[in-house]
Structure 1
Amino acid sequence: MSDYKVLKRLNCVAQLIKFHPNISKKQLLERLRHDYDLEVAERTFERDKNILESDFGITITYNHKSRGYILDDNEESLNQFFKFAQFAAMAEIYQNGIKDYKSFQKWVLPEDSSGFTGVQHFKKLIQAISTKHKISFQKENYYGGTKKTYTVSPLCLKEYANRWYLIAVVDGESEIKNFGIDRLSQIEIKNTKSLKIENFKKQLKQYDEVVGLNYTESKNNYPEKIILKAHNNQLKYLRSLPIHKSQICIDGKANDWGHATYLLKPNYEFEIQILKLGNMVEVLEPLWFREKIKKHISEMYNMYN
């Protein structure tokens, strides 16, 4: 799927159906034409549906009752596809932008990432992962100002907070670790086979239970139901940018307060996300987590008092 135009069209189709469930074919084709400047024939749409299902695991079904299209509830496949499409779109933007750099600088305002390095490692890391070969590298310790050499079995790459991490198993160890790729240097693909990712699926699954990377620091070693009281206006933002894939938002009446629920292991990253929402949310349950957030707020208040 190297064709940017095809991938862009697939992304637009999936986005429209996700945010406008039960949209009719006529409405969908009109929105593609008016909102995205895409002329899509009915036959092309049917072909796109097949590509989304066969290549990306995204199934579009026709609801005979509403006479419109809906996406099957596979949030993980959908999010992975949107991320892939985002990478492709950025690649196209940068490719076109370089041809007219002055215009590109005026029109595109990327996040300041001057302190982030490591993107140049993507190709080599993905090559090692796909061919199942071990790698060695030096990792810099920012606090100690030291470097240490590792040989690892690379398993996958994970993104969090606009940074990328290599998930790997260090030689001689049995637990997965994450390494910020911006701290890596002298990466070398070894001529030895790596450990199989299938043997670490249970460990990797733990990332699904937390926000971010730290799955060992929660108070209880199991996912808990977190209930937030949230203003209806805030729920709109939460829906557009979920904190965690388990998030469920329920609107309150009129302009009142609703609820957002999560099933996860609360860690520091999740606490930070809650605190960022300020007075638009209130933790209701569990009590221990409510008290922890309350303590953070009290300590911050005392600093300014």
Structure 2
Amino acid sequence: MSRSRKTRSSSKSNAATLFNRYVWLVDTIYRAGRITFEEINERWQRSSLNETGEELPLKTFHNHKNAIQQMFDINIECNRKGGYLYYIEHAEDMERGGVRTWLLNTFAVNHLINESHHLKRRILFEEIPSGQRFLTQIIEAMRDNRTLEMSYQSFWNETAHTFEVAPYCVKVFRQRWYVLACSTSDDRLRIYALDRIRELRTSEHLFVLPEDFDPQAYFVDSLGVVVDGNCKPERVRVRVSGIQRQYLRTLPLHASQQETEITDNSSVFEFYLRPTFDFEQELLTHAANTDGQIEVLQPQWLREEMRQVGRNLVEAHITVGREQ
């Protein structure tokens, strides 16, 4: 191996080591709540990342702390009056989710698995096939504000079409990655599934992301990735009975979900969102559970629509039964 290649390999290894140390430090302080430097040092000496069991120099600790602020936008503060206890500033922001939490949780779990090699085959994850091929290229284009030339074939078209888009943000939903992009031909925002992209090329054309564009606000009234301008956000009330209530309580369908009425046998859940077809599909998925029932109370048009879907399913079942 040439000296330059060895140097590059060593540089990548050092960068990965530092990154893992940053994640370890944030995870350690976050889980502790408040912790002294001495306690951090003790845990570092026992960490699998520390193969030699050496102590953590105070200067190195502060260097890591500064790097974490720049890389993750996470501030590690010190309460000097309370005994020099270190803590994560605004830790509640991390608990609300977002990319920082996702990154930290991913690497923290990965680190824990690496510490317990014998558990690797006993920890199973869901695969996201659409993220394998184009996600990195799209994120790089977002970083550099470059447009993408995309060859895309939706499920409704027999052939692929090629066009140029400006990638605004990416989102994962139901094991699929999506990119929200602005078409350079008509300036309209559209959502594209990465598993339907046939070819992708990063162009030399630059674009300017609008200063007032807020990805979270764009999807705030949507269950997933469908933002239909013809379907306005409105109040939806759903009665859920049986054990199915527990599923909604522990994993809300939408951020606006509230349980407004509770009886021994049922609860009423309220939402404020766009009741698009993906929301209807989600209700049908829960309704298919034999341990509970779901009834749309409001709005009336959605109640009638879901009732008709139920009738269609029953008729289809009867037809299939007769054919058999």
1:110 aligns with 2:120: no
Identify the residue that residue 84 of structure 1 maps to in structure 2. 103
Alignment of 1:1-305 (within 5 A): 3-9=22-28, 12=31, 47-50=86-89, 52=91, 57-58=93-94, 77-89=96-108, 92=111, 96=114, 104=120, 106-111=121-126, 116-142=129-155, 144-198=157-211, 200-201=213-214, 205-216=217-228, 221-231=231-241, 233-250=243-260, 252-253=262-263, 255-278=264-287, 279-305=292-318
Q: Structure 1 unaligned runs (5+)?
A: 15-24, 26-37, 59-70, 72-76
**1:182 to partner: Cα distance:** 2.2
**1:155 to partner: Cα distance:** 0.6
- Cα 1:284–1:120 change in 2 (3 A) is same
TM-score by length of 1: 0.68
Q: Structure 2 unaligned runs (5+)?
A: 1-18, 35-46, 48-78, 319-324
Root mean square deviation, CA, Å:
3.6
TM-score by length of 2: 0.64
The code of the aligned residue for 1:123 comes to: T
Aligned partners of 1:291, 1:180: CA distance in 2, in Å? 30
Write the deviation string for residues 211-253 of structure 1: whole angstroms up to 9, x where unpaired.
Answer: 12222276xx421111111236333321321111111124624
Write the deviation string for residues 108-166 of structure 1: whole angstroms up to 9, x where unpaired.
Answer: 333365xx244242222212112212222322445545333222111110111111111
Aligned partners of 1:174, 1:193: CA distance in 2, in Å? 14
The code of the aligned residue for 2:202 comes to: I
- Could you say what secondary structure the match of 2:224 adopts? coil
- Cα 1:144–1:229 change in 2 (3 A) is closer
Aligned partners of 2:250, 2:125: CA distance in 1, in Å? 20
CA contact (8 A) 1:235 1:260 kept: no
CA contact (8 A) 1:211 1:243 kept: yes
- Could you say what secondary structure the match of 1:198 adopts? coil
Aligned partners of 1:157, 1:44: CA distance in 2, in Å? 43
- Cα 1:45–1:151 change in 2 (3 A) is farther
CA contact (8 A) 1:156 1:167 kept: yes
The code of the aligned residue for 1:247 comes to: Q
Aligned partners of 1:11, 1:232: CA distance in 2, in Å? 37
Identify the residue that residue 30 of structure 1 maps to in structure 2. none
**1:89 to partner: Cα distance:** 4.4
Aligned partners of 2:105, 2:204: CA distance in 1, in Å? 33
- Could you say what secondary structure the match of 1:189 adopts? strand
CA contact (8 A) 1:139 1:148 kept: yes
Larger radius of gyration: 2
**1:13 to partner: Cα distance:** 6.9
Aligned partners of 2:165, 2:180: CA distance in 1, in Å? 9
Aligned partners of 2:85, 2:293: CA distance in 1, in Å? 43
CA contact (8 A) 2:151 2:162 kept: yes
- Cα 1:225–1:80 change in 2 (3 A) is farther
Aligned partners of 2:177, 2:83: CA distance in 1, in Å? 35
Aligned partners of 1:258, 1:44: CA distance in 2, in Å? 48
Aligned partners of 2:83, 2:156: CA distance in 1, in Å? 54
**1:12 to partner: Cα distance:** 5.0
- Cα 1:103–1:86 change in 2 (3 A) is closer
- Could you say what secondary structure the match of 2:89 adopts? helix
**1:265 to partner: Cα distance:** 1.2
Identify the residue that residue 20 of structure 1 maps to in structure 2. none
Aligned partners of 2:85, 2:246: CA distance in 1, in Å? 32
